[in-house]
């Protein structure tokens, strides 16, 4: 990977919901252009909270979040939207929009004050659809598509925003294995071929290990391990974070497959 300056730099990030315990207890991470970073961790480890802090939906209690070398707070909403885009876990659209309309919505931060698109907006949207292979679906209503297609369209929308950094929140959690594979391959392509920094919160250790350039494993609101997949996918690390018995199997994919054995209670007996 290129040794470019990180587009995202997080240092000592802390957050607590009002009156509750600290959910993030000091997170450090960076993401550079051209790399796919997956954030792993058990439920409640702070993955989604971290993503919300990065998006600016939650205001961290302490620590700093820098985007392209500038504190996130110093960006206006529009300036932020031009370098960072977001793909949610799933989308339920209230009204019937076509694929093309949804993708064009990604151009919103680039449109004029009346929200009208220009020639460049339309060209970029068309190019984004071509890249992710949804051009053929352009005039279909979003809700008539399968879950995998919908998620691809939402990624296309985020792509049309022309960000330097794309954040995704468990984008494959509702998808079958085939579509999970497609989405991970697409995220890797966004990073490697189109030079974007892609940060994806994930539950799927194996998919993340296979496609990501780097992994961050969160545990109790802080990284328990971070680095290349081979450094993070270690039986003793995963076992202590997820509280399960873990075996690693080499199936010739370059990274070991994680196979989960007995849960903590049985282990203790």
Partner 1 sequence: MTLAEIPRPIAPAGELTGRSILRTVGVLAGVLVVVAALCASIGQQGWMWPWASPARLARVAAAMTVGAALAVAGATLQSLLRNGLADPYVLGVSGGAGVGVLAGIVIFGGATWAGRTGAAAIGAGATMGIVYLIAQRRGRLDAYSLLLSGVIINTLAAAIMATLYLFAQPGELKLYINWSLGSIPDAPAGDLLGVCAAATGAGWLWLAARGQAFNVQSLGDDVATSSGIHLTSLRLQTFCLAGVLTAAAVALAGPVGFVGLIVPHVCRMILGADHRRLILAAGFIGAIFLVAADTFCRSTVLQFGQELPVGVVTSFVGAPFFLFLLRRRLREGYL
Q: Which residues bind partner 1 (CB under 8 A)?
A: 52, 55-57, 77-78, 80-82, 84-86, 88, 91-98, 100-106, 108-109, 111, 113-117, 119-120, 122-131, 138-139, 141, 143-144, 154, 157, 159-162, 167, 193-195
Strands of the sheet containing 222-227, edge to edge, are 84-87, 165-169, 197-201, 36-40, 214-219, 222-227
Q: Report, in this order, helix, strand and coil percent for the chain, each rounded to 5.
A: 40, 30, 35
CB nearer to partner 1: give 102 or 207: 102
Rounded distance, CA 31 to CA 12, Å?
15
At closest approach, how far in Å is the CB of 61 from partner 1? 17
At closest approach, how far in Å is the CB of 149 from partner 1? 14
At closest approach, how far in Å is the CB of 125 from partner 1? 6
SS3 128: helix
CB nearer to partner 1: give 84 or 205: 84
At closest approach, how far in Å is the CB of 200 from partner 1? 15
CB nearer to partner 1: give 130 or 262: 130
Question: Taking the CB of residue 266, how many other CB atoms lie within 10 A of it?
Answer: 10
Helices in 75-193 by DSSP H: which ranges? Answer: 77-83, 99-105, 119-132, 147-160, 177-192
CB nearer to partner 1: give 24 or 233: 24
Q: Around 212, how many Cα atoms within 13 Å sit in the side-chain half-sphere?
A: 29
CB nearer to partner 1: give 69 or 76: 76
At closest approach, how far in Å is the CB of 77 from partner 1? 5
């Amino acid at each position: 990977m290129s040794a470019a300056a990180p587009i995202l730099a997080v240092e000592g990030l802390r957050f607590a919901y009002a009156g509750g315990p600290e959910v993030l207890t000091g997170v450090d991470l960076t993401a550079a252009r051209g790399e796919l970073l997956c954030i792993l961790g058990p439920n409640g480890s702070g993955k989604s909270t971290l993503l919300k802090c990065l998006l600016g939906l939650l205001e961290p209690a302490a620590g700093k979040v820098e985007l392209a070398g500038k504190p996130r707070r110093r960006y206006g909403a529009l300036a932020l939207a031009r370098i960072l885009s977001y793909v949610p876990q799933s989308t339920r659209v209230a009204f019937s929009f076509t694929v093309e309309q949804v993708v064009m919505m990604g151009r919103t931060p680039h449109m004029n004050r009346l929200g009208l698109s220009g020639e460049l907006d339309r060209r970029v949207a068309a190019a984004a659809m071509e890249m992710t292979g949804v051009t053929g679906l352009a005039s279909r209503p979003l809700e008539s598509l399968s879950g995998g297609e919908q998620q691809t369209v939402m990624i296309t929308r985020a792509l049309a925003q022309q960000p330097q950094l794309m954040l995704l929140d468990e984008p494959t959690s509702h998808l079958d294995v085939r579509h999970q594979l497609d989405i991970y391959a697409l995220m890797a392509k966004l990073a490697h071929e189109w030079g974007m920094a892609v940060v994806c919160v994930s539950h799927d250790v194996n998919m993340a290990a296979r496609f990501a350039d780097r992994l961050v494993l969160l545990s109790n609101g802080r990284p328990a391990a971070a680095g290349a997949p081979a450094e993070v996918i270690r039986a003793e690390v995963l076992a202590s974070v997820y509280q399960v018995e873990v075996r690693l199997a080499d199936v010739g994919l370059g990274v070991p497959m994680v196979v989960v054995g007995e849960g903590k209670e049985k282990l203790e007996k």
